Amino acid sequence: MATRQSSSSGKPKSPRIQVVLPEELCQRLAELAEAESRTVSNMAKVLIQQGVERFEEAMAAPAVPPAVAPAVAPEVATDHFRAVLEEQERQQPQRLRGAPRRVRLQRPT
């Protein structure tokens, strides 16, 4: 369950979750975040948000009447959804909803 913290002003913060990632996936996430000028945490949030929206869209797609479509086992639907996501993962990442809100400035050395 996500935990909710309070700020020093008493205003509740957004719920927090903790995720354990394999080293390779964490590195890929960091590279994507750098390319998008985002923090790793924000990039993870954006990607999770996109995945949830796509999953909900796939689940909400209008059902074809059983007389027209053959019965599809849930495992087949899950495998298809996974294959689509893996194909999208192999494609070049696209810019998401305009410019980033947070820009990191590098000090000259």
Residue 98 counted as domain residue = no
Residue 83 counted as domain residue = yes
CA-CA distances (angstroms) from residue 40 to 3, 9, 18, 47, 81?
19, 26, 13, 11, 25
Residue 7 counted as domain residue = no
Residue 82 counted as domain residue = yes
pTM over 0.75: no
Count up the domains in the chain and report the number: 1
Q: Best-predicted range by mean pLDDT among 9-13, 53-57, 71-75, 95-99?
A: 53-57
pLDDT band at 65; cut points 50, 70, 90: low
Residue 102 counted as domain residue = no
pLDDT band at 5; cut points 50, 70, 90: low
Angle at 82 (CA atoms; ends 58, 16), nearest 5 degrees? 80
Residue 57 counted as domain residue = yes
Q: Give the closest residue to 54 by CA, choosing from 86, 32, 23.
A: 86
**Domain with 79 in it:** 23-90
